[in-house]
Structure 1
Amino acid sequence: MTTEETRTDGGVDAGEPTEEYADLGATTEDAMEIAETSMDRVRELVPDETLADRIRQKSVHATGDPEFQHLVRFTGEEEDEPIRAGARAVLDEQPIVTDITMVESGITGRGHDCPVRKAIGNGAELAAETGITRTAASVLELDREGVYDGAIAVVGNAPTAALALADCIADGTRPAVVVATPVGFVKAAESRKRLRAVAAERGVPAITNVGRRGGSGLAAGLTNELVHVASDARDGAVDLDE
């Protein structure tokens, strides 16, 4: 992809000269007006006082459901901790590692210089040998390579990827932050519950949700909000040390 090519979120690859753009990746006048109006309406429904509120707002926008704000969970000493940790990782240009291609494609290319990669496509031999899912094997393979230490670890689709990541953290892997919203009726809620428990025990900041809902768009949106918080910190609008 060249620096001129647009991504699915309306952004472009990191490295392109920064130009004015609104949240949600809008760049044209009409698109920016729509994006700003949309978020204004979300802020009428969701508090706008803390960094955690910004994640709740993004969850509502991504799902189109005001009630989703009550399903978001933050693992850390206080609610803002995962957002601060994620924003610091963005400023430090740490890798953003997603479970599948769809989540990778939704990560904005603006406002950061973090390398973005997906886990899926790795660990094929492990999956064939053990019979575990390709997404679980891909997470385990990248963990063997040390990819997740210090990274922004994102799971938006596969519960087995979240369970594998939880096992890695239990064994000593330390992502900077975890964003996990795997979706579905089988193991989705359980995988996030397991990940929350392990993250809390091991001191790894995490953003998850409860229930069966979730998905790639939600995970990408929440990760993009970490990028926006980092951009605001870079501009002096947010103090990450508060």
Structure 2
Amino acid sequence: MTTNTDDATDGDANSDDGFEEYADLGATTSNAMDIAETSMDRVRELVRDETLADRIRQKSVHATGDPEFQHLVRFTGADDDEPVRAGAQAVLDEQPIVTDITMVKAGITGRGHDCPVQKAIGNGAELAAETGMTRTAASVLELDKQGVYDGAIAVVGNAPTAALALADCIEDGTRPAVVVATPVGFVKAAESRERLREVAAEHGVPTITNVGRRGGSGLAAGLTNELVHVASDVREGVVDL
């Protein structure tokens, strides 16, 4: 599944904060902005637009092209808005955004934030070789040893084993600011998200996930980018967390 990232590198609009202003759906040219605005207007005809959580539901519909996907999104927190508030605040606090794989990292917007963005994959090679666990699971455990996930926006868009490893880390005391997890597939994907929700709820970690087999890197990146968008709206006084 993919997100619309047309013209993501066009333009040079800078904010007073020293970073490029968030560009909705990656659009910066006038033509691209018209397309982006029209696209989201159509999504808002299909998904209500009343809460912060609704913005995540809208982004899920746009990212998947499926109006029914709004009913598959799940939130862990005191209310559905809590993970969005936590994620936006983490963006404002310039906390790290940590993805499971390169594709998710590539989809994270470079505009609207000064958060360092890094991927887990590529770490933990020795652990994977020694134990036989997947490289993504080992990479999550390796970064967790370094304390990378505490206070971070943790994003899993592809690997169920990364979500399961992250759930183990949370159970052992790690506390991300928020988790966005949409691993995709027929083996362990739905189960990994279910376990993550259960562990996160038990330990008070806000999460944004989905149910079912669907998901993927584009969806995870799109939902994370919406947290950046909310943070941008907070700076501009449009949203009050």
Q: TM-score, normalised by structure 1?
A: 0.93
1:160-179 matches, cutoff 5 A: 160-179=161-180
Residue of structure 2 in register with 1:152 after alignment = 153
Whether the 8 Å CA contact 1:22–1:35 is kept in 2: the answer is: no
The offset of 1:9, in angstroms, is 6.3
CA distance in 1, matches of 2:205, 2:229: 21
Q: Per the alignment, in what secondary structure is the counterpart of residue 121 of structure 1?
A: coil
CA distance in 2, matches of 1:208, 1:57: 14
1:73 aligns with 2:55: no
The offset of 1:179, in angstroms, is 0.1
Whether the 8 Å CA contact 1:21–1:27 is kept in 2: the answer is: no
> Which amino acid is the alignment partner of residue 155 of structure 1?
V
Residue of structure 1 in register with 2:96 after alignment = 95
The offset of 1:16, in angstroms, is 7.4
Residue of structure 2 in register with 1:228 after alignment = 229
CA distance in 1, matches of 2:13, 2:127: 38
1:12-27 matches, cutoff 5 A: 17-18=14-15, 22-27=23-28
The superposition leaves residues 159-206 of structure 1 with CA deviations (integer Å, 9 ceiling, x where unpaired) of 000000000000000000000000000000000000000000000000
Whether the 8 Å CA contact 2:157–2:181 is kept in 1: the answer is: yes
1:48-197 matches, cutoff 5 A: 48-197=49-198
> Which amino acid is the alignment partner of residue 98 of structure 1?
T
CA distance in 2, matches of 1:167, 1:135: 14
CA distance in 2, matches of 1:45, 1:20: 27
Whether the 8 Å CA contact 1:162–1:182 is kept in 2: the answer is: yes
CA distance in 1, matches of 2:229, 2:156: 19
- Could you list the runs of 4 or more consecutive aligned residues of structure 1 that deviate by over 2 angstroms after TM superposition? 8-12, 15-22
> Which amino acid is the alignment partner of residue 51 of structure 1?
L
Whether the 8 Å CA contact 1:126–1:137 is kept in 2: the answer is: yes
The offset of 1:29, in angstroms, is 1.1
Structure 1 unpaired stretches of 5+: 1-7
Q: TM-score, normalised by structure 2?
A: 0.93
Whether the 8 Å CA contact 2:13–2:21 is kept in 1: the answer is: no
Q: Per the alignment, in what secondary structure is the counterpart of residue 78 of structure 1?
A: coil
The superposition leaves residues 35-91 of structure 1 with CA deviations (integer Å, 9 ceiling, x where unpaired) of 110000000000000000000000000000000000000000100000000000000
Aligned residues: 232
Whether the 8 Å CA contact 1:20–1:27 is kept in 2: the answer is: no
CA distance in 2, matches of 1:38, 1:70: 19
> Which amino acid is the alignment partner of residue 144 of structure 1?
K
Structure 2 unpaired stretches of 5+: none
Q: Per the alignment, in what secondary structure is the counterpart of residue 88 of structure 2?
A: helix
